[in-house]
A and B are shown apart, each in its own frame.
Chain A
Amino acid sequence: MYRITTFYKTLVVTFGLLFWPTNVEAHLVTTGMGPVYDGIGHLLLTPEDLVPALALALYAGLRGKAPGRRALFFFPLAWLLGGFIGLGADTMPTFPLPALSFLLLGVLIAADLRLPDNVFTVLAVAVGIMHGFFNGIALKTGPSGLGLLGIMAALFVLVALVAAFVVALKPPWTRIVVRVAGSWVAAMGLLMIGWFFRGQG
């Protein structure tokens, strides 16, 4: 009697557990390799962050070696700083602010505008802090600070490779290709703002 009762109790509890829905943190990328890689995965699989990061690297590359070096160090650090601020924040603004970085960076690349070095640095820091802030909020319940470190490392590598690649471009048509890519980024930013106002962003 004792054996059957315990057995059925265990069965009931087990099947209860099987059908018990658990919280699914669907928005966080879990690589299975730890929080640092989870952060890297988050960056690489989030176009709202990845595209502006690539765009900033492209723009830095178009501007030359000195802005490229500035972006290489200031941008990931600003992202990390914004991320730590985001870890302590609770609410996200409803307006899709990343759309503004799409638009701004896209226009700068497409028009190949020359900003003074200090203004460029401020831009890189502002974009980094803003996107880092959103990342901080998103990663709060998951990889947290280590995830942010992973993102910073990935950004460093990304900016180094992309900016160096663009700096090295010599034939005029290759720079034009970069500018065309910038126009695409700006167009995406405009559309993102449109989707927001339509309520489908």
Chain B
Amino acid sequence: MKKHVRHMDLCASIFVLALYLVWVPSAQAHVEGGQAVGFITGLEHPWSGLDHVLAMIAVGLWGAQLGNPALWVLPVTFPMVMAMGAMMGLLGIPLPGIEIGIAVSAILLGAMILGEVKLNLYIAATMVGFFAIFHGHAHGTELPPGQSGLLYSMGFVIATGVLHGIGIVIGLIHRWPAGKLALRGAGAFIAAMGVFFLWRAIS
């Protein structure tokens, strides 16, 4: 009888031990939700504001109109200077008239495309860089709590670059006469939207 009891104990012990081994608790610590969301948030952010989207695409369109080397100098200049603008925001350095600056960027870039203005490369890069500061200051600093700054930055910079790329690809229609006209029409639209953004920023 005693032997039978010991056997039962052994079985019970093995059963609960097996249960323990099989019962794997969910290791929530491994799910880096905030990290992944940080990248997605950064990726989404530039698309969330039409003013930012239009200005980014305008940079690509204008670059395509100007041709080499502006085609790549402008999209290289913009993210770097934009990051400097974001850094200013992160350091708490105030920048007056951010919304007005963003609206004016759409107006001027749109006007450049509309008029097919062939500015000197340095002046064009300086102009694009100047407005990039406003865009970076406004959009680059809005990291939701608990998310990774690096991944947010990666998403934000990549999305901005993609918008430039879209502008450049659309701008390739410049090689056809009808495309040239369409591009100038797009410039007029961007400038008109810039006026609307300016009116909204001032009112």
Contact = CB atoms under 8 A, between A and B. Distances in A.
B30 A24 contact: yes
Interface string B2-30: 00010011001100110110010101011
Contacts of B150: 47-48, 188, 191-192, 195, 201
Given A11-B16, A26-B29, A176-B72, A198 B91 contact: yes
> Size band of the A side of the interface?
35 or more
A188 B76 contact: no
B153 A187 contact: yes
Contacts, number: 117
Q: Per DSSP, are chain A's interface residues mostly helix, strand or loop, or mixed?
A: helix
Given A17-B20, A193-B87, A187 B149 contact: no
Interface in B154-175: 154, 156-158, 161
Nearest to B79: A187
A94 interface: no
A188 B79 CA distance: 9
B20 A194 contact: no
A141 interface: no
Contacts of B154: 47, 51, 188
Interface in A172-196: 173, 176, 179-180, 182-184, 186-196
Contact of A186 (B16, B75, B83, B156): B83
A187 B143 CA distance: 16
A190 B72 contact: no
A184 B87 contact: no
A180 B76 contact: yes
B76 A183 contact: yes
B84 A190 contact: yes
Given A26-B29, A201-B149, A179 B9 contact: no
Q: 8 shortest A-B CB distances, which residue pairs?
A: A195-B149, A194-B90, A187-B83, A191-B153, A194-B87, A190-B83, A24-B29, A26-B29
Interface of B: 5, 8-9, 12-13, 16-17, 19-20, 23, 25, 27, 29-30, 32, 71-72, 75-77, 79-80, 82-84, 86-87, 89-92, 140-141, 143, 149-151, 153-154, 156-158, 161
Given A187-B83, A200-B143, 15 more contacts: A3-B9, A6-B12, A14-B19, A18-B23, A47-B150, A180-B76, A183-B80, A184-B157, A188-B150, A189-B83, A190-B86, A194-B91, A195-B90, A195-B143, A195-B149
